Structure 1
Amino acid sequence: MNQYSQEDKRRRQMKLSGKAAAASKEKRTILIIVSCILAIILIAGTIALVKHFKKPETPFVPSQSEPAASEQQTEAPTQTQAPETTTSLSGDVTVTDYSATMYSTTVTLNVRSAPSTDSQILGQLGQDTPIKVTGKCSNGWFRIDFNGQTGYCSEKYLKGSQDLSDKPYYIKVNRTQNIVIVYTKDANGGYTVPYKAMVCSVGLNDATPTGSYNTTDKYTWRLLSGNVYGQYATRITGHYLFHSVPYVTQNKADLEYEEFNKLGEAASLGCIRLSVEDAKWIYDNCPKGTPVTIYDSNDPEPLAKPTPIRIDTNDSRRVWDPTDPDPSNPWRQ
């Protein structure tokens, strides 16, 4: 009896020990799980704190007054022109009718399709170019007449009659009619008085560019395209000049007389050909910076087109320009 009792007791103790071991193992498992959960919560909290205190990056947004990259490329400032400030049009811009003749104050002034630097560039005007103003915009721009179409210029680059150019003349070249009209100033200082008309030859196939420019360099003789020479050359822009009808050599007695007989019609490679008399007049009387506008028009000009001189190609004097004032000119003897 005692023997069985002792055996039963050992079995009960072993059973209790097994249960205790199992309970201990279960507790360890629970502790591990709880520790993992706490670790996850701690990591998540740390990440949340980092995100909370980290300053977000702000994308760069250019201000309204900063020109876009394309504007900087197409309208780089010259020495006399700062970049135009972009106009933010929050509503419709009102335009009041306004009539005046004004002048560009910058070397190259962009004419735009609307009163904003975001609009299309229609063309350019040179310094001291007379500009017909037809309206004043509420945002600091002027509406102008640009070669027969409506354009807009910033008022920052225009000046009125009180600040007129000191240049005595303004030259207009009508490509369609091959005529040059020189204007002088009226009593108010505007270039409105037709002064002199010249017959010319512009470029074939529209090779002479239209637009407004200012004269620069001058040459008594100038090597031209085609390895020929011109007398009394005045640069308009780039490689385009006013000059005499070409000479085969740098010799006044070596005129290309057949080309001289084309005065009054398109004949050049792009320059504006004149008689020696007219080329010399521009050379002598129109200083550097004289405004020049080249355009197309079939409308009558204020002065009649001079009748071009024609040289008899059988005349021994044909190698001289009949208008050349040189005392050696046989046409003057």
Structure 2
Amino acid sequence: MKKSLLLVLVLGLAFAASGCGFDPTIDSSVMVVKVTPTPEVTPTPEVTPTPEATPIPEVTTEQTASGVKVEVKNGTYYAASELNLRSDASADAELVTSVAAGTTLNSTGVCENGWVRVDYNGQVCYASGDFVTTTAPEGTQDGSADQAAAQD
């Protein structure tokens, strides 16, 4: 056993002396390889179409002679009762004419104080919003028969 132990020691020294096969007289180089992992492919998200923007209607405003703001807006109104049409959007304004109940009035604007600007026989007049309605009177389809009678 001493012999085998001695043999192992001698072989160990032989390997150590030779440097495990390393010879310092021969040029050697060390190559370092940097390894980066391959990135995983991320799925491209689906493109959601952008809805078309609905254009906001432009609100046009004007003013009466007395400075009341009028939103330009066409429509049809009917006189709910006998109605005075005035030169401005005020009960104190000059009386232009009176119309019978049910008369069709073509609106060209709505005033901020509740009055309605109308075109009556080619003349700009104002009617109090308290005495007009958007509902046609019974007995006529559009109230035009009443307007014709009022003009006679």
Alignment partner of 1:166 is 2:138? yes
Alignment partner of 1:102 is 2:74? no
In structure 1, what is the Cα distance between the partners aligned to 2:106 and 2:150?
Answer: 13
SS of the residue corresponding to residue 150 of structure 2 reads strand
Mark the runs of 5 or more structure 1 residues left unpaired by the alignment: 1-90, 169-184, 193-285, 296-333
Give the structure-2-normalised TM-score.
Answer: 0.51
SS of the residue corresponding to residue 68 of structure 2 reads coil
Match of 1:113 among 66, 87, 98: 87
In structure 2, what is the Cα distance between the partners aligned to 1:120 and 1:191?
Answer: 26
Question: What is the correspondence of 1:175-214 to structure 2 with a 5 Å cutoff?
Answer: 185=141, 190-191=142-143
Higher relative contact order (CA 8 A, sep 6+): 2
Question: What is the correspondence of 1:299-310 to structure 2 with a 5 Å cutoff?
Answer: none
Partner deviation per Cα, 1:255-282 (whole Å, 9 max, x = no partner): xxxxxxxxxxxxxxxxxxxxxxxxxxxx
Match of 1:148 among 122, 125, 129: 122
- Quote the offset at 1:191 in angstroms: 4.7
Number of residue pairs aligned between Structure 1 and Structure 2: 86
CA contact (8 A) 2:79 2:133 kept: yes
Which residue number in structure 2 is paired with residue 177 of structure 1? none
Alignment partner of 1:129 is 2:119? no
In structure 2, what is the Cα distance between the partners aligned to 1:131 and 1:92?
Answer: 23
In structure 2, what is the Cα distance between the partners aligned to 1:109 and 1:127?
Answer: 7
Residues 191 and 164 of structure 1, relative CA distance in 2, 3 Å threshold: closer
In structure 2, what is the Cα distance between the partners aligned to 1:120 and 1:126?
Answer: 18
In structure 2, what is the Cα distance between the partners aligned to 1:167 and 1:129?
Answer: 13
Give the structure-1-normalised TM-score.
Answer: 0.24
Which residue number in structure 2 is paired with residue 321 of structure 1? none
Mark the runs of 5 or more structure 2 residues left unpaired by the alignment: 1-65
Residue identity opposite 1:98 in structure 2: K
CA contact (8 A) 2:71 2:111 kept: yes
Alignment partner of 1:294 is 2:137? no
Which residue number in structure 2 is paired with residue 138 of structure 1? 112
Sequence identity, in percent?
28
Structure 1 stretches of at least 4 aligned residues deviating more than 6 Å after TM superposition: none
In structure 1, what is the Cα distance between the partners aligned to 2:150 and 2:99?
Answer: 9
In structure 2, what is the Cα distance between the partners aligned to 1:132 and 1:102?
Answer: 6
CA RMSD of aligned residues (A): 2.1
